[in-house]
Amino acid sequence: MPPREAAALVAALTERVKELDCLYEITRLAQRGDLGLGEILAGACDVLARAWQYPEVACARVILGGLTRATANYRRPADKQASPVAVDGEVVGRVEVGYLEKMPPLAEGPFLREERHLLDAVAGHLGRIAQSRRDAERLRELSRELLKAQEHERQRIARELHDDVAQTLSATRVRLDGLAPRLPAGEGGDGAREVVLDASSRLGAAVTSLRDLAYGLLPPALDQLGLVGTAFRLCEEYGARHGVRIDFTADGMEAVRLPFETSINLYRVLQECLANACRHGGARRIGVRLIASHPHCLLRVADDGKGFDAANRLPRALAEKRMGVWSMRERMRLLGGRLRLVSRPGKGTTVTAEVPITEGAACPKP
């Protein structure tokens, strides 16, 4: 092959590699869960400028919805090409690549025909990324509303159990207790008295169970005692009920004032962890730590139970839509936090929930 043709072929292949790298880099940015859409668009601008034929004088800008991101050197270019970005069939922005200096004319001004194809491909890709982010946000909002509706329903059921059913049963027990002394003495009366007293005792147990259930559905002390006091009380009650030693500690919590949404979700995670450790894990000792270390609040629950193979069991549990782990993770995700679960057979289970402390949550210094 003549040297000139070989050089042209190498140059063309180099441009194709740059184009493939461009699409790959943007895809890689989109797959990073820690980046917001604005950060993805900023990264895409830098990638685009490097992919064009004259990167030393190239600049790029992406306008998408209310976001505008550009390369650091961006100013009004001497020549530019643009491609629209569409989401759900609606044009919501555009992608621009330009040269800051006049360059020799090619297929489209100073731009290659392949650069037009690449720009259109990038615009379509960014549209799909934006649509995916929008769909994910809609899903998060639906999940948030689902959890809110669940909490509201729990509160309604708790109030009805405590204020209606439990009160009615308590009144019935009082009447039974008052009836027992009025029964006539003798063989028949003694038998009837035993039946009445037994019924009264069973009603008393039912009332206690209902009130415990109502408390579990809606901890009434959360507003008064705060998360630390309510969590401590929950640990005491769980330990007494199941014969398990629960060591509770709180560090730095006096310096923060958590919103109710954060408190109730951390409380629910603690409830789920204690239930799993006692009912399924066979734990005899549980350590609970609640730590506020700006900018995060952490809840750590570690038990000495039988544990399980987390690598195999967790994906199966999520696939089978078992709500425990899903609910804990979803609660943390909706708060902008995360949940980590570590477990091994015979080595117990440790769950760590971490949520950001929002601005204004810190208590002012006296």
Q: In this structure, what CATH number is given to the domain that contains residue 119?
A: 3.30.450.40
Q: Per the structure block, which two tokens stand in for 222? A: 């959360």
128 and 246 part of one domain: no
**DSSP β-bridge partners for residue 343:** 349
- CA dihedral over 124, 126, 127, 129, signed as positive or negative: positive
7 and 136 part of one domain: yes
C-alpha–C-alpha distance, residues 345 and 362, integer Å: 40
**pLDDT one-digit tens code per residue, 106-129:** 889 999 888 898 999 999 999 999
226 and 328 part of one domain: yes
Q: Which helix (H) or strand (E) covers residue 280, if one does? A: none
How confident is the model at residue 364, as a pLDDT?
A: 42
Last residue of a domain, one of 95, 118, 140: 140
Q: Per the structure block, which two tokens stand in for 264? A: 């109730």
Secondary structure letter of residue 93 according to DSSP = E
Low-confidence stretches of the chain (pLDDT beneath 70): 1, 3-17, 162, 185-190, 215-221, 314-323, 358-366
Last residue of a domain, one of 122, 140, 158: 140
C-alpha–C-alpha distance, residues 50 and 113, integer Å: 17
Q: Residues 35, 46: contact at Cβ < 8 Å?
A: no
How confident is the model at residue 101, as a pLDDT?
A: 94
Last residue of a domain, one of 93, 116, 140: 140
133 and 248 part of one domain: no
Residue 21 lies in a domain: yes
How confident is the model at residue 365, as a pLDDT?
A: 40
- CA max distance for the chain: 124
**pLDDT one-digit tens code per residue, 263-299:** 888 998 998 999 889 888 889 999 999 999 888 899 9
C-alpha–C-alpha distance, residues 103 and 91, integer Å: 30
C-alpha–C-alpha distance, residues 22 and 18, integer Å: 6
Number of Cα atoms under 13 Å in the Cβ half of residue 343: 27
How confident is the model at residue 100, as a pLDDT?
A: 95
Residue 123 lies in a domain: yes
How confident is the model at residue 71, as a pLDDT?
A: 96
Residue 348 lies in a domain: yes
Residue 189 lies in a domain: no
Residue 255 lies in a domain: yes
Secondary structure letter of residue 37 according to DSSP = H
Residue 173 lies in a domain: no
How confident is the model at residue 197, as a pLDDT?
A: 80
Task: Work out how many domains the chain is built from and give that number.
Answer: 2
C-alpha–C-alpha distance, residues 59 and 80, integer Å: 9
Residue 302 lies in a domain: yes
How remote is the C-alpha of 322 from its chain's centroid?
16
Q: Which domain holds residue 92?
A: 3-140
Looking up tokens 């940015």, which residue turns up? 29
How confident is the model at residue 30, as a pLDDT?
A: 87
Q: In this structure, what CATH number is given to the domain that contains residue 261?
A: 3.30.565.10
Residue 192 lies in a domain: no
